[in-house]
Structure 1
Amino acid sequence: MSEITIINEDPSSEPKNFSKGFLALPFDNDQFKEFIVGLLGKPQTITKRISGNFEIHLKDLQSFYDLVIQRVSQQNNGKLIQFNIKIYFTDRSTVQLGSYHELVTYNEVKPIISEAVQLSWDFLIQFHDKTQPEKQSIELLIIATNKLLEEDDSLSFLLPKRGEFKITIQHTARSWGSDMENMLSNQIESHLIKDNKYRKFIKKYSSKISIGFSALFFLSSIIGSFVITQGFINSELKKVQSFSLVKTHTVDQQLNFLTSYIASGVSTQHYFKVSIFLLISLLTSIGFGIWIDNTASNSIQPSFLVLTRKANEYKDETKKKLEKTWTVFFTSIFLGITTGVIANFIFKWLV
């Protein structure tokens, strides 16, 4: 067993030896206490969440690391004591890296998609108003999907609907913690992708747009059927008037004509056709409304965490599908309008 010797600053006191070997601590009991409290004490915590769309690559993670290290080295007498990075994948597996060098050289060979990453820094920092260095911790969690490992206890929080950054800073100096939070927030904002204002409007009001379109489609059918019915009525009146104005027709012939006309049920058949037409139009308008709403809802711009080859392939495929979704959305609008116009013409031709 080794020997441990504690040497006090008081020269009159004898050092205490334990077994063999020596462990010399160059401070007194009070200084040692302050050091332990700064290292293991309960610091204050700053948290912040930033949601949005983004596309993060390995080089972006490296830039986050360099940014934090550079700021700490420039402003404080700090030393990095630990850096960890944990990557979460869609198959519910994780990979933990224990150094910056491992991050730079990281290359995942398995065909899996990265969906979240957690970067953690631990520093010992000597602040100007403190006699001993104190531990400060920074954690940056990047979530690219809302399907994130829901069963993982270490990430038991309300999952976002969009991509999200979560900053957690444990500090013993408020000004230092606020400075790091602002720095990381600014860096995160630079990675957010702004939505096209028209696409953003469509996504936000997709339900109202689909309901409005369905209502307009059905309303156009009602107006069309009304106009066609008015034309039908006028046409039938002209037939009756033309027959009744012929002076050679006797009263009995005119009565027989009116009786035969009523018995034929021409008007009843017309209104039956109108009812069928409006029913089909109602069902068609509901179908187009559901189609438009689903298409607009599926056009949400996702976020990507591209740390594997499979994740890069997934990003390219998703972007292509998104563009097709927008094409389908505008096609559904066009088809809805065209169908309404053609349906009214067909109905007019049939009656």
Structure 2
Amino acid sequence: MSKNDEFQLILPCAPNEFGSFIAGLLGKPRETKGRVSGAFDITSKDISNFYHLINQRITQQNRGNLVHLSITVIYDNGTAVTHNNPNDFESHYPISATIPLEVILSFTYLIHFNGSLQPEKQEIDIVLSTNRDRGASHWTHSGVCHYSVKHTDSSWAADIANIIKSHAETLIDVPGPVRQRVNESFETIFRLGVSLIYVAVAIWWGFTAFDAIHAAETFNDALAFVTSSIATLITVGVIYSLSYEYIIHFLMLSKSSFICLVDKDFTSKDKTRIKEGRRWISYAATWAINIICGVVASYLFTKF
């Protein structure tokens, strides 16, 4: 090899087609996005299957080449590891005691579509996240799969998006329409329910207080009755308010999602599910305490 031939760049096009080839790479693509939300429990094989399904479809139906693949795992300690092929991803075992929170798959293909003179760049991104902050702020689950296809051919992009969505739905416990509606409005529904209970108790007490005041023998007796009633109502209101804050900010009764890549991830999953069972018990106990407080307050009101 001569000195001038030491470094070469081979492009999949003729010299007179170089301009069209570069335009296909740098042209502004369109983008198709989607999301599948729900609780999931996935393994490294489930994640690698996204690659196998997409690559199989492209090699069967298009003249395409995979020019870039990355599988990035983000852990709970803030670190991230990127792999460039599925085998490395599946065989990797982290040394530190970390738990995977998110996996990001990125593909770049050069595809020669029918009717196109040059191959065109297509990009695919898939994010599997257990993180509530990833737009999966639902009270019944925390998992989400985001996908994005940047493309120059709409029918091809729709086909790839459907493959991703179909595979995600086999892995994710997608909530039904009723659960989905509750997910979207949980805080409003919960706050409204608590408020209705409190208002109902207040109205009932109001009628009782009216009769009690008329039956009071002296003004001081009536004033003492009203004062104790107001104090009781305030106490019940504070209890309901604290219960609401406790449930929303501390219990977070969502069904957790898990990315289990190695054996210690499965162990962590089992421990988390035990804690979730205890949270449901705490949730039931909180409602029971609310009801008991309302009954006791009503009893004390009528007696004293």
| Residues 104/24 of structure 1: CA separation in 2 closer, same or farther (3 Å cut) | closer
Query: Is 1:102 aligned to residue 88 of structure 2?
Result: yes
Residue type at the aligned position of 1:285: G
Moved more, 164-173 or 189-198: 189-198
1:35-184 matched pairs, under 5 angstroms:
35-38=21-24, 40-50=25-35, 52-55=37-40, 56-146=42-132, 161=137, 163-184=143-164
Tell me the CA shift for residue 37 of structure 1.
4.2
The corresponding residue for 2:172 is 192
* Aligned residue pairs, count: 293
Quick check: 1:89–1:113 contact (8 Å CA) kept in 2?
A: yes
Q: Partners of 1:86 and 1:80 in 2: how far apart?
A: 17
Quick check: 2:205–2:298 contact (8 Å CA) kept in 1?
A: yes
Gaps of 5+ in 1: 5-17, 149-158, 237-265
Q: Partners of 1:277 and 1:24 in 2: how far apart?
A: 87
- Percent identity between matched residues is 22
Query: Is 1:210 aligned to residue 194 of structure 2?
Result: yes
Quick check: 1:296–1:329 contact (8 Å CA) kept in 2?
A: no
**Bigger radius of gyration:** 1
TM-score with structure 2 setting the length: 0.78
The corresponding residue for 1:333 is 287
| Residues 174/313 of structure 1: CA separation in 2 closer, same or farther (3 Å cut) | same
Query: Is 1:304 aligned to residue 258 of structure 2?
Result: yes
TM-score with structure 1 setting the length: 0.69
Tell me the CA shift for residue 222 of structure 1.
3.3
Tell me the CA shift for residue 34 of structure 1.
3.9
Tell me the CA shift for residue 114 of structure 1.
1.6
The corresponding residue for 1:272 is 224
Gaps of 5+ in 2: none
| Residues 118/229 of structure 1: CA separation in 2 closer, same or farther (3 Å cut) | same
Tell me the CA shift for residue 85 of structure 1.
0.6
| Residues 194/332 of structure 1: CA separation in 2 closer, same or farther (3 Å cut) | same
Q: Match for 2:246 among 289, 294, 314?
A: 294
Give the RMSD, CA atoms, in angstroms.
Answer: 3.4
